[in-house]
Structure 1
Amino acid sequence: NSIWVSTDHDEIEKVAKQFGAQVHRRSPEVSQDSSTSLEAIREFLSHHHEVDIVGNIQATSPCLHPSDLIKVADLIQKEGFDSVFSVVRRHQFRWSEVKKGDKRIIHLQEVHARRTRNTLCKHSSLRVKAKGLSGGGKMAYYEMRAEHSVDIDIDIDWPIAEQRVLSFGYFGKEPLKEVKLLVCSVDGCLTNGRIYVTEDQKEMVSYDYRDIVGIDLLKKRGIQVRLISERDCSKTVSAMQLGCVAKVDVTNKLQVLEDWQKDMGLSWKEVAYLGNEESDVECLKKVGMSGVPADACSLSQKAAGYICKSNGGCGAVREFAEHIFLLLEKVNSARKQ
C-alpha cells in the first residue's frame, strides 16, 4: 500500500514528504478551481499503472479515522464491491416548496414524524474504487459516524472542525501524554544564531520578547523548560534571566537529553525538543514532540514533527509553545472520550 498526496503546491508537497507520503504533482489542467476530484484521480492513474485500488480522502474532512479506511477496503478486497462511497445519517426536517404566499398548518405529530425520519446523505470525505471504474460497477455505501463526518466547505466551518477534531479526532494508537519538559537549543532557536562582537571582544546576541513570554507560559502550565547549547554561552543565558536550567559547551546533545529524561523520570512521550542543526537531529527523532524554526537546516526539518512559521530568535519558541498547548487540549479531550 502507498499514501499519495496530489497537489500543485510546493509547501503542501514539502509537508507531505515530511510525514512520509509520496507526492504526485498535478498538471495545470486538473489544478483549476473548477477541477473535480475524479479528474485528478484519472490523471494520477495515468502515471501510476501499478495502483489497483484508489481511496480518495478529502483534505477537508479532518475527523476521518483509520478504522473507516480499513472497513471500506475490506468491502472491496473481501466482499467484492467495485466502488464504495461514504454516507452519514441525518435527522432533519424535510420540506416541500409551495407557491409563494401559500400557508400551511402542519400538525405537531406530522412535524415530529418528518423530523425523526432517517436520511442517509452522501458524504464527501471518503471514496474508494477499483482501478478503471468511475464510481460504477458493483457499488456499496459505508455509513460513517456523524461525529467523524465534519466537512470544511466555508470559513465558518473551521471553528466547528477544530472543536470536532479535539473531541473526536484520531491522535494515534498510543494514548497521548502531556508534555512535561521542553528542551530548547539556544543558538538558532532562542536566538537567531547571529553573534555580534564589540571592539572590546565582548559577544552580544539578540532575542525576541515573544519567546520569553512563551517560556513563561510553559512554566505556568507546569512544563519545565531547559536550554542546551554546543557553545559556551553561559553569560548570555544568565543575562536573559529566564530561570531555566541550562547546559552549555555540550559535545553530545542526545546524551544530555537522555540524562535529563531519566533524572526527571519521564517517558519520551512527555519530552519536547526544539532544535535547528544537524546536531539536534537525533534528539528530534527521540522525543514525543519535536519542532524546528522555519530557517532550520534541511536535515533537522526532515526529522521534526513540526516546522514553525517563525525563524529562530523571531518567535519560534512562542509558536512551538502554542503547538504544545494544542496537544494538551487534545490530551484532555481524549481523556473525556
Structure 2
Amino acid sequence: MSTEKCTKRECNESTENVKKRQRTDQRHLAALVLARGGSKGIPLKNIKSLAGIPLIGWVLRAAIDSGTFDSVWVSTDHDEIEKVAKRFGARVHRRSAEVSVDTCSSLATIQEFLRRNEDQGIDVVANIQATSPCLHPFHIQEAMRKITEGGCDSVFAVVRRHQFRWKEVKNEGEITEPFNLDPLNRPRRQDWDGELIENGSFYIAKSDMILKGYLQGGKRAYYEMGPEYSVDIDVDIDWPVAEQRVLRYGYFGSNSEKVKLLICNIDGCLTNGQVFLQEKNESHSFNARDMIGLANLKKNGVEVLLISALDLHNNQLLANKAVCELKQNVSNKLDFVETWLKEKQLSWQEVAYFGCYEYDIQCLRNAGLSGAPKDAAALSCETVTFTSKSPGGCGALQEFADYILLVNEKCASSHDK
C-alpha cells in the first residue's frame, strides 16, 4: 500500500490531485461516487458526520489513497456535497435534474457521467458506494487487479452470509418453503460455507459495457470482503451501528507519521464564549471532558500546546492544571507555529491542529490532522477533516483527542505489519 498522502493543503488547491498510479496498462481508471442531495431516509446523508468525518469522506479517502485511479469523481446535484467532495480531493460532475430523482437508477447516472465526460477517455469505472465507510485501499487495489491483470470485464463486492432464507407468505393458508436449506438436515454454521451476497460497496466495469447497459457482464468476478468491513447505511437506526464499526474497522488515512503534538486554540475551542462577571473580576469556564482529553493525549505521549490571541490569567490557570505549555498574545498563528515547529524539530505532518476561526485556517490546512468544534466559523468547518459533535467548550476537544489517539493506534499497527 502506498504511504504517500494527499494533504489537505493540496486538496484545497486543486480538485485534480489524485496520486499518480503505478500503471500496469494505459487505460484510464476512474472512481465515481454517486451522491445526490435528495436522500429521504437521512437528509443529506452523504455528508452527515460519521465519527467526525463526512460520510462520503471515508470512501473518498480510501479511493484516493489506493493509488489505483487516474481520477476520482463525485456525481452530485448539491452545492454542499460538491464542497465536501473537493475538500477531500475529488473532482465533481454536476449531474442533470433527470438523473437526480428518486426513480433514476445508478446505471443511468453513471451512463450520463460517461457521456458528459467523453473527452476524459475513461475506460473503466469503479462505482463506489458513499454509504460503505469501512472500505479500505487494499479492497480497491485487490479488486481492480482482477480488471487490470485478471482480464475481467466487471467486478463487484460481496460478503459471505450464513442466513437461512424462507419464502414469504402472501396469501392465507399458504405454507412457507425454505430457499436454501433442508429443515430435516439443518447444517451447523461451521459445516456450511454460507452464501455470497452483494454488499454494494463497489461495482467496477468497463465503460463500453456500462454504456450498453451492464454493470455486471462479460467476464464477471466477485471480490469477497470480510463481514467486519461490510457496513451499509440506509436509515437512522443504521447510523450508531456504523459509527461504532467505522471506529474499529474504518480506514483513517495513510499517515506515515504519528501525531506528536496537538496545538489547540483556546479561544472558541476550549471556551464556549460565556464570560461570568463579578464585581471586580471576570471568569471563564472550562469543560471537564476537555481536561480529560488533554490528559489522555499526554498520557499517550502526545505533547500539547495551548495558544490564545488574548492574555488572560484564566488561560494560565487552565494550562497549569492541564500541565500544558501555553503561549498567549499570539496574533499571527501561522508564523508562530512554524517558528515553534522549527525549534521543536517537528514537521507539520506530525501536528494536529484544533481551531475554529478564520485566522486558524492556514494552520488547519498545513497540519497532518485538523479539527474544529461543531460551532466553528463556516470556513473553518469547510477546511478541516474532523468536526466534533459538541460545540466549543463543551467537550469538543475531547472528541478530537480521541480521534488523534485512534489515528496514532492505526498508524502504529500499520508500521508493525
- In structure 2, relative to structure 1, the CA distance for the partners of 1:78 and 1:64 (3 Å cut) is same
Q: Which residue is equivalent to 2:19?
A: none
Instruction: Give distance in 2, aligned partners of 1:165 and 1:302.
Output: 22
Contact residue 162 and residue 189 of structure 2 kept, 8 A: no
Q: What's the CA shift string for 1:27-72, capped at 9, x where partnerless? A: 2322223332112212212221112221101111111111222223
Q: Which residue is equivalent to 2:127?
A: 56
Counterpart pick for 1:227 among 301, 306, 310:
306
Runs of at least 5 residues in structure 1 that lack an aligned partner in the other structure = 196-201
Please say if 1:161 is aligned against 2:237.
no
- In structure 2, relative to structure 1, the CA distance for the partners of 1:176 and 1:124 (3 Å cut) is farther
Counterpart pick for 1:134 among 208, 213, 231:
213
Counterpart pick for 2:290 among 201, 209, 215:
215
Q: Which residue is equivalent to 2:6?
A: none
Instruction: Give distance in 2, aligned partners of 1:239 and 1:107.
Output: 73
Instruction: Give distance in 2, aligned partners of 1:159 and 1:336.
Output: 25
Q: Which residue is equivalent to 1:246?
A: 326
Q: Which residue is equivalent to 2:58?
A: none
Counterpart pick for 1:13 among 75, 82, 91:
82
Instruction: Give distance in 1, aligned partners of 2:385 and 2:187.
Output: 51
**Letter paired with 2:248:** S
- In structure 2, relative to structure 1, the CA distance for the partners of 1:95 and 1:113 (3 Å cut) is farther
- In structure 2, relative to structure 1, the CA distance for the partners of 1:70 and 1:225 (3 Å cut) is closer
Instruction: Give distance in 2, aligned partners of 1:238 and 1:333.
Output: 34
Instruction: Give distance in 2, aligned partners of 1:169 and 1:191.
Output: 31
- In structure 2, relative to structure 1, the CA distance for the partners of 1:222 and 1:307 (3 Å cut) is closer
Q: Which residue is equivalent to 1:198?
A: none
Instruction: Give distance in 1, aligned partners of 2:203 and 2:176.
Output: 42
1:280 CA displacement:
3.4
Q: Which residue is equivalent to 1:32?
A: 101
Instruction: Give distance in 1, aligned partners of 2:350 and 2:264.
Output: 14
- In structure 2, relative to structure 1, the CA distance for the partners of 1:193 and 1:219 (3 Å cut) is closer
Instruction: Give distance in 1, aligned partners of 2:124 and 2:268.
Output: 45
Counterpart pick for 1:275 among 355, 360, 364:
355
Instruction: Give distance in 1, aligned partners of 2:222 and 2:412.
Output: 28
RMSD (CA atoms) = 4.2
- In structure 2, relative to structure 1, the CA distance for the partners of 1:222 and 1:278 (3 Å cut) is closer
Q: Which residue is equivalent to 1:47?
A: 116
More displaced stretch, 124-133 vs 153-162 = 153-162
1:84 CA displacement:
1.8
Contact residue 91 and residue 115 of structure 1 kept, 8 A: no
Instruction: Give distance in 2, aligned partners of 1:101 and 1:226.
Output: 66
Q: Which residue is equivalent to 1:237?
A: 315
**Letter paired with 1:171:** F
Secondary structure at 2:71 match in 1: coil
Counterpart pick for 1:120 among 173, 177, 196:
196
Secondary structure at 1:221 match in 2: helix
Give the total of aligned pairs: 323
Contact residue 94 and residue 115 of structure 1 kept, 8 A: no
Contact residue 268 and residue 287 of structure 1 kept, 8 A: yes
Runs of at least 5 residues in structure 2 that lack an aligned partner in the other structure = 1-69
Please say if 1:68 is aligned against 2:139.
yes
Instruction: Give distance in 2, aligned partners of 1:21 and 1:29.
Output: 23
Please say if 1:288 is aligned against 2:368.
yes
More displaced stretch, 244-253 vs 121-130 = 244-253
Pairs within 5 Å for 1:138-149: 138-146=218-226, 147-149=228-230
- In structure 2, relative to structure 1, the CA distance for the partners of 1:288 and 1:113 (3 Å cut) is closer
Q: Which has the larger radius of gyration?
A: 1
Q: Which residue is equivalent to 1:306?
A: 386
Please say if 1:182 is aligned against 2:253.
no
Q: What's the CA shift string for 1:276-312, capped at 9, x where partnerless? A: 45653443244332124555374x55653334577xx
Q: Percent identity, aligned pairs only? A: 44
